[in-house]
Structure 1
């Protein structure tokens, strides 16, 4: 699981620059139990890597329980709603609702036979996708899946309906029609423009009956999931006990899930290590020096690692002094990124390498480092930019001033963040002060971090993770210009028509080589904009209970909760 926003974890493995999630990967520079000297340091796993103890069904026991951590209580369950982008929530929804496609360890889409007999491009001018639905697939209210569900999802998320607070319209806004095909089990989706990443749409599919009105869309999935159609269903949603359980759905038409119960328990990131050692959960992050040191030799424990689409960054807001692009650029030039990464990487057994791209990970075809000078530490250059912006030095250790105003910014920090994140923020704070920028660190409640601060833009500096952002078209949501009050996933509210145009053109470019060129052009402009300062790709390093099957570090692959269980 991810400490996400979204925005912890996994919405965008194909759809919108996957949900933002709180940064929790940094390793504590002073924690005990492990150090850079004692840990076995290896390079990040390569493309296609997966480490989940994959086992066929006949090697997995029937029954039993697996207990997993969840880093915040989930309030909004509609993954298309702006507040429903918390990654773990979307991941769970892809188990209880139809996920038409999954991704394998190389990030390649595969249709799910439980929902689709076939899905393919049947026309290129215009582009038409024809879906053949599995006639056995039914919603929990007894209705079969149909074109009406596809149509309702499209109409709710294409940005043309008032009253629907959508998270992202990418792809959906290019659809011109959704119709029944030759019979009720066939769906035809027509696009007004080519869209390369169509397999990412309708993941998951949400029932038409659950989003008939704006009120249903925005409020009907708060603290509840009214209709399901997956191998698992909700057993309990106990807000008081902060636990969620999934149990097999007896009406499921596919292979029966192995577990009797899958339990999620809300706890802070820092609490997972002790909870694992106390045998209260069966999986915990080991991505910090402290956690890795305590977990690597624990009884009945296996350390697993892989390279997912998972980036750690620092975001800059677009208001106040940061409305000036040169101030944002100065903040980037004042940071010693290598030093910050060393703080994060200390004591962790895989290497955190600098990330030079907002759209591609280093283990993806098409990756190019476009950071240029924007991520290159140069204190003199940072000071020159601030001078040019009218902010005058006022003595060492003091903030610059302009028109009697001190250059003071606020870094909003999740109060449940690991000590390593605090260490990283404190180090960046000192670097910025050397350039004459005073940054105050404001800790806020974990459950308020996104909903009350990041989402509404009440911050100058913040840090979270974007995860599972592929296919590449999903990057649009985090960098597109806001439309009125809808910021999509672009919480900085910074952007340009040029960036939007490049990302949209790339999304409609079928040739992957030509698309990569366009995405890299857009990425170069994002760096110039001073939108987001990329730090590193975050490898997954986790501790799993020995014998836990089909779960761990999935890399670029989808998680299939229905296959999780215990080895025989």
Structure 2
């Protein structure tokens, strides 16, 4: 039940603090789409039995712009070497814009092998990447027009130069107008009216029908028109392969039997030569990660629960790094059966003691876990305010009253409520690979709900089935996962927007209202950040009232990194520059 992460277009299954990067995030696949999968209560936190082991005094909440990556100039690094990372699960779909491709590990690797026009810095600001862009700017506001000037050296692995056709293909596949493209997130793309060539083949002109403040989050990463121009290519052409690349790296090998992947430098790369010779990734269960690090089999491990932290902090080869990323842990409510009733969902939100869950999760970890009162902004992010109100307040009496109003009658102490002869029995879907600590967490939720007359079954399902057969199709009453890297705020829109036929975008609960939809779209079209934040917060208050998702806490990044590893670690909001990752001399 270790939740995978979906990053602003991605989910992640780890609820306890983790280091950032592949093997940990489910990240929002591309910022335009990502935004990384499981929805089990992916809590890899600590159990009460281990809370006294290796306990550390909490530090202040990491600032949003904090980085802890052992930043070093390339001149201080050895040329060559290998960085050994891990994956939460095997990667089948590599297209980060496709609904099944938002798994954080795959998204992070795609950012190594495909063009990143912009890279976010530690303060959350998009910075153009000169390997791909000479410039990119808004040249008109009515209508909004963005002109991209491409680096003429930039090309795809098939030899074709980057051009407007690639931007146009991403837009047409991802704007939601053709349901044959199973796109995860049309946000921003559905506000574009035209993509065309500028004065020469290196210029791309993108015209918007309505203003889109977060335009730099689009085409992130850019994909080649040759690989996504048809629905079949878009949906199936990236399964088990990356057909065309355009970055400093490329896939070296994929061994599904051994569950290993390698990423190596691309000799045709026109930019600065990468420092490392190879990145390796191995699928490991959550329970195996700590020992694998201690055995010198991998170079990064989560130190986000008491047991792991207690073991890893004493390793002389471990460097504990922390940061405050955009990373939230929540419990999502489904919309089937009894859960279709808003009052039932509201009752569950009031029956779950969020502060108690946080105490369990934060014991023995050296950072504070801030309780989260917002679905869109993190606690240390500009625009944040606590909108949870009465819907995030632990109140068993109010929860019981709501269930009674919904027709579920009290059957007496210790017994499930009933309605029309049926018991109020719900299902929490979790991965069969969940850690014991995660299962302890679900047990706590079970006990809380039992106090108000709800019978909660914990359904363990195969880890590789959790997304495809349960979460992605909304087959759950309760589930949990992390949304990660959902910055800028427009990236959260697909989590809560109204569904369209079979396309749920990333709203796996399938819950929304026209008012929420409208407020989110207005916010994304508002160029003034203060006015936009006000609209996002209005929408957030409505999301709390809807009983869509119970936010629990902002998840700090706490990881063990092998000493000497440079330019990698707790990144906060920032993107990694993988070409500069390496080992100190």
Match for residue 217 of structure 2?
A: 200
User: Structure 1's 229 and 12: CA in aligned 2 closer, same or farther, altered over 3 A?
Assistant: closer
Tell me the SS of whatever aligns to 1:423.
helix
Note if contact 1:295-1:301 (Cα within 8 Å) is conserved in structure 2: yes
2:408 is aligned to 391
The root-mean-square deviation of aligned C-alpha atoms, in Å, is 1.5
Give the structure-1-normalised TM-score: 0.98
State whether structure 2 residue 28 is matched by structure 1 residue 27: no
Name the CA distance, whole Å, in 1 between partners of 2:556 and 2:310: 17
Partner of residue 306, structure 2: 289
Residue 435 of structure 2 is aligned to residue 418 of structure 1: yes
Aligned partners of 2:461 and 2:3: how far apart in 1? 19
Cross-structure match for 2:284: 267
Q: Deviations over 1:81-108 (max 9, x none)?
A: 1100001111110110001111011111
- Cα offset, 1:36, TM superposition: 7.7
Provide the aligned length of Structure 1 versus Structure 2: 567
- Tell me if 1:147 matches 2:185: no
1:241 aligned partner: 258
From 539, 548, 559, the counterpart of 2:576: 559
Instruction: Kindly report which structure 2 residues correspond to 1:317-396, keeping only aligned pairs within 5 A, or say none.
Output: 317-396=334-413
Instruction: Answer yes or no: is 1:59 the counterpart of 2:76.
Output: yes
Residues 16, 473 of structure 1: 8 Å contact kept: no
The structure 1 residue matched to 2:539, chosen from 522, 535, 554, is: 522
Instruction: Provide the rounded CA distance (Å) in 1 between the counterparts of 2:452 and 2:33.
Output: 35
C-alpha distance in structure 1 between counterparts of 2:484 and 2:171, whole Å: 24
Distance 1:218 1:205, change over 3 A: same
Change (3 A) 1:502 1:143: same
> Counterpart in 2 of 1:114?
131
Q: Which residue of 1 aligns with 2:478?
A: 461
In 2, Cα distance between equivalents of 1:136 and 1:264? 30
- Mapped pair 1:4 → 2:22: no
Deviation string 1:123-170 (CA, Å, 9 cap, x unpaired) is 000000000000000000000000000011111111112421111101
Contact 2:138 2:147 in 1 (8 A): yes
- 2:260 counterpart of 1:257: no
Q: C-alpha deviations, 1:165-193, integer Å up to 9, x for none?
A: 11110100110000000000000000000
8 Å contact from structure 2 (residues 3, 37) kept in 1: no
Q: Is the 8 A contact 2:54 2:306 kept in 1?
A: no
Q: Name stretches of at least 5 consecutive residues in structure 1 with no aligned partner.
A: none
Q: Deviations over 1:12-57 (max 9, x none)?
A: 674357345555454222454x638831311221121010111111
449-458 vs 536-545, which moves further:
449-458
Q: Unaligned regions of 5+ residues in structure 2, if any?
A: 13-25
Q: Secondary structure at the match of 2:5?
A: coil
Mapping of 1:364-513 within 5 angstroms?
Answer: 364-513=381-530
**Match for residue 247 of structure 2 among 210, 230, 241:** 230
Q: Which residue of 1 aligns with 2:206?
A: 189
CA-to-partner distance for each residue in 1:362-384, whole Å, 9 max, x for gaps? 11011000000111111110000
CA contact (8 A) 2:83 2:278 kept: yes
Question: SS in structure 1 opposite 2:213?
Answer: coil
Instruction: Find the aligned partners of 1:213 and 1:433 in 2 and give their Cα distance.
Output: 50
Asked whether the 8 Å contact 1:60–1:565 carries over to 2, the reply is yes
Distance 2:165 2:393 in 1: 52
Q: What is the deviation of 1:74?
A: 0.4
More moved, 86-95 vs 272-281 = 86-95
> What per-residue deviation string (whole Å, max 9, x for no partner) do you get for residues 459-502 of structure 1?
11001100000101111100001100000000000001100100
When residues 2 and 260 of structure 1 are mapped into structure 2, their CA distance, relative to the original with a 3 A threshold, is farther
For 1:227 and 1:388, the matched residues in 2 are separated by 56
Corresponding residue number in structure 1 for 2:63: 46
Q: Tell me the distance in 2 between the aligned counterparts of 1:388 and 1:48.
A: 45
Distance 1:383 1:279 in 2: 52
**Contact 2:38 / 2:431 at 8 angstroms: preserved in 1?**
no
CA contact (8 A) 1:16 1:475 kept: no
1:70 offset after TM fit, Å?
Answer: 0.6
Residues 7, 450 of structure 1: 8 Å contact kept? no
Secondary structure, aligned partner of 1:199: helix
Specify the SS of the correspondent of 2:403: helix
**3-state SS of 2:494 partner:** helix
Say if 1:2 and 1:243 are closer, same or farther in 2 by CA, change over 3 A.
farther
Distance across 2 between alignment mates of 1:507 and 1:537: 23
Find the aligned partners of 2:485 and 2:208 in 1 and give their Cα distance.
25
Asked if the contact 2:119/2:128 (under 8 Å) is kept, the reply is: yes
Residues 2 and 284 (structure 1 numbering): CA distance in 2 closer, same or farther, change over 3 Å?
Answer: farther
Contact 2:55 2:310 in 1 (8 A): no
Change over 3 Å in CA distance of 1:51–1:187 after alignment to 2: same
Compute the TM-score of the two structures, normalised by the length of structure 2. Answer: 0.95
Aligned equivalents of 1:238, 1:17: Cα separation in 2: 25
- Residue 373 of structure 1 aligns to a residue whose secondary structure is helix
